[in-house]
């Protein structure tokens, strides 16, 4: 039965910055799952106006057992609010309420809340602790893990931020019950990503379980979250600050970020843009002779079965290229793409603009 699933732990090994990811059901009500800060520390739950009415009170109740004071701030909801002005609301609350440097921030929500809260924690008083409590599938399999924190800039996605690891990640699978179907599909894009870059057998498993995952079968979800976190832990443990290997986690993201920025943040969900971006990146891998067309087709079919768009908006190849040059992986204005070298293996590549344009045009509406 769903709520009898055992809690599983995946560890991120980063010396003194190591931490655990707890994955299970009912964790929001479990005091032991949530006790990881100093007992005297105060706590601020950072959430948004959608998630607060669903889960903030429960979290606040359990945190009150561990902290001397617990407050909640609910930010406006949406990727469009992942910006300076909204980040400042967190600092305003912390300063107005005189939170000290032992304060622990709790990021309760999806990737937007997680990224902003982590960045606020990295900056407030030059750094306070934070805990990730991801409530979207995307956040549970990817964004809450690994310490990338950021806000967007109108010129580019996640351009202002810091590497800053949380104290713990608490992925309560029960919170996924209230997630809209579209958000489940968006999260599945980041799950699928791990197959072509690191584990071809996992890709096969996802193909077999895609319908169960979309139907929110808890056993299937637990397995997908655990394996995704294991792969992410393996990558981040070797390359915390993305000097090399970690870039593979950005498979599909270079094209995807161009879609998000080009349409205006929030028009397409991040996971939708990544799904379509993976189709374009797989096509570019084929055009460069790295993989055969059948593997790209296989990936495209799975992305479609996950309920994700596989054709991008017609922004024009020149506009895609312009937007992609702002990518953090670019060097001296040259775009570098994460491409598939072989099933389950990926690395960074350069490609001629003309070839990239062909890959884009082949997959636009």
Q: Is 232 a catalytic residue?
A: yes
- Distance, in Å, from the CA atom of 343 to the CA atom of 296, rounded to the nearest integer, reads 10
Q: Is 242 a catalytic residue?
A: yes
User: From the list ligand NAD, ligand GLY, none, which binds 258 (C-beta under 5 to 8 Å, kind-based)?
Assistant: none
Q: Which of 66, 168, 253, 363 is catalytic?
A: 253
User: From the list ligand NAD, ligand GLY, none, which binds 110 (C-beta under 5 to 8 Å, kind-based)?
Assistant: ligand NAD
Element (H, E) at 235: helix 218-238
Please, which of residues 124-153 interact with ligand GLY by CB under 6 A? 142, 146, 148
Strand partners, 345: 342
User: From the list ligand NAD, ligand GLY, none, which binds 246 (C-beta under 5 to 8 Å, kind-based)?
Assistant: ligand GLY
- Distance, in Å, from the CA atom of 145 to the CA atom of 10, rounded to the nearest integer, reads 10
Please, which of residues 220-279 interact with ligand GLY by CB under 6 A? 246, 249-250
At its nearest, how many Å lie between ligand NAD and the CB of residue 234?
15
If you search the block for the tokens 């950072």, which residue do you land on? 46
Torsion angles phi and psi, residue 166, rounded to 5: -75, 170
Report helix, strand or coil for 170: strand
Q: Is 66 a catalytic residue?
A: no
User: Within a 10 A sphere around the Cβ of 13, how many other Cβ atoms?
Assistant: 12
Task: Please identify, using beta-carbon distances, which residue of 199 and 260 lies nearer to ligand NAD.
Answer: 260
Q: Is 246 a catalytic residue?
A: yes
Site string for ligand NAD, 323-362 (x = CB under 6 A): ----------------------------------------
CA distances from 1 to 9, 118, 136, 209, 217 (A): 19, 34, 21, 17, 10
User: According to CB under 6 A, which one of 103, 132, 136, 285 is a site residue for ligand NAD?
Assistant: 136
Task: Please identify, using beta-carbon distances, which residue of 7 and 228 lies nearer to ligand GLY.
Answer: 228
Q: Extract the tokens encoding 185.
A: 């599909």
User: From the list ligand GLY, ligand NAD, none, which binds 42 (C-beta under 5 to 8 Å, kind-based)?
Assistant: none
Torsion angles phi and psi, residue 319, rounded to 5: -70, -40
Q: Is 363 a catalytic residue?
A: no
Q: Which of 42, 250, 272, 298 is catalytic?
A: 250
Site string for ligand NAD, 45-84 (x = CB under 6 A): ---x-xx--x----------------------x-x--x--
336 binds ligand GLY (CB under 6 A): no
Please, which of residues 225-254 interact with ligand NAD by CB under 6 A? none
Q: Which of 190, 230, 240, 272 is catalytic?
A: 190
- Residues 63-81: b if buried by 16+ CB within 10 A, e if exposed: beebbeebbbbbbebebeb
Q: Is 190 a catalytic residue?
A: yes
Q: Where are the beta strands (DSSP E) in the chain?
A: 8-12, 19-24, 43-48, 70-75, 104-109, 129-134, 148-153, 156-163, 168-172, 337-342, 345-349
User: From the list ligand NAD, ligand GLY, none, which binds 82 (C-beta under 5 to 8 Å, kind-based)?
Assistant: ligand NAD
CB 169 within 8 A of CB 129: no
Q: Is 250 a catalytic residue?
A: yes
* Secondary structure letter of residue 174 according to DSSP: G
At its nearest, how many Å lie between ligand NAD and the CB of residue 355?
27
Q: Is 209 a catalytic residue?
A: no
Q: Is 267 a catalytic residue?
A: no
At its nearest, how many Å lie between ligand NAD and the CB of residue 354?
29
Q: Extract the tokens encoding 357.
A: 């344009």
If you search the block for the tokens 């139907």, which residue do you land on? 215
At its nearest, how many Å lie between ligand GLY and the CB of residue 143?
6
Torsion angles phi and psi, residue 20, rounded to 5: -105, 150
Torsion of CA 213, 306, 158, 296, to 10 degrees: 130
Strand partners, 109: 134
Residues near ligand NAD (CB under 6 A) are 48, 50-51, 54, 77, 79, 82, 109-113, 115, 135-136, 138-139, 142-143, 146, 148, 158, 175, 178-179, 183, 186, 269-271
Catalytic (active-site) positions:
126, 148, 190, 232, 242, 246, 250, 253, 257, 270
């Amino acid at each position: 039965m769903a709520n009898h699933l055992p809690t599983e732990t995946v560890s991120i090994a980063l010396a003194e910055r190591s931490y655990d990811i707890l994955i299970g059901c009912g964790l929001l009500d479990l005091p032991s799952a949530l006790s990881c800060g100093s007992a005297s520390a105060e706590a601020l739950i950072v959430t948004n106006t959608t998630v607060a009415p669903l889960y903030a009170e429960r979290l606040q109740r359990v945190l009150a057992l561990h902290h001397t004071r617990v407050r909640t701030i609910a930010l406006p909801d949406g990727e469009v609010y992942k910006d300076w002005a909204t980040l400042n609301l967190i600092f305003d609350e912390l300063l107005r309420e005189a939170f000290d440097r032992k304060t622990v921030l709790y990021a309760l929500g999806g990737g937007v809340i997680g990224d902003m809260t982590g960045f606020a924690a990295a900056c407030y008083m030059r750094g306070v602790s934070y805990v990730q409590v991801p409530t979207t599938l995307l956040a549970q399999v990817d964004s809450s893990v690994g310490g990338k924190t950021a806000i967007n800039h109108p010129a580019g996605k996640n351009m202002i931020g810091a590497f800053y690891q949380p104290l713990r990640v608490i992925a309560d699978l029960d919170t996924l019950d209230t997630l809209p179907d579209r958000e489940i599909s968006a999260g599945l894009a980041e799950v699928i990503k791990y197959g072509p870059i690191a584990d071809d057998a996992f890709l096969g498993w996802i193909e077999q379980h895609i319908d169960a995952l979309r139907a929110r079968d808890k056993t299937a979800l637990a397995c997908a979250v655990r394996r995704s976190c294991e792969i992410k832990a393996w990558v981040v443990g070797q390359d915390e600050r993305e000097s090399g290997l970690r870039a593979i986690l950005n498979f599909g993201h270079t094209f995807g970020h161009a879609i998000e920025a080009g349409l205006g943040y929030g028009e397409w969900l991040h996971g939708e843009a990544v799904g379509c971006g993976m189709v374009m990146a797989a096509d570019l891998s084929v055009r460069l002779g790295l993989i055969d067309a059948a593997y790209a087709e296989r990936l495209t079919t799975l992305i479609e079965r996950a309920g994700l768009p596989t054709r991008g908006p017609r922004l024009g190849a020149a506009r895609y290229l312009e937007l992609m040059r702002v990518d953090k992986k670019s060097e001296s204005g040259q775009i570098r793409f994460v491409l598939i070298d072989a099933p389950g293996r990926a690395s960074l590549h350069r490609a001629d603009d003309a070839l990239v344009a062909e890959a884009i045009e082949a997959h636009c509406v």
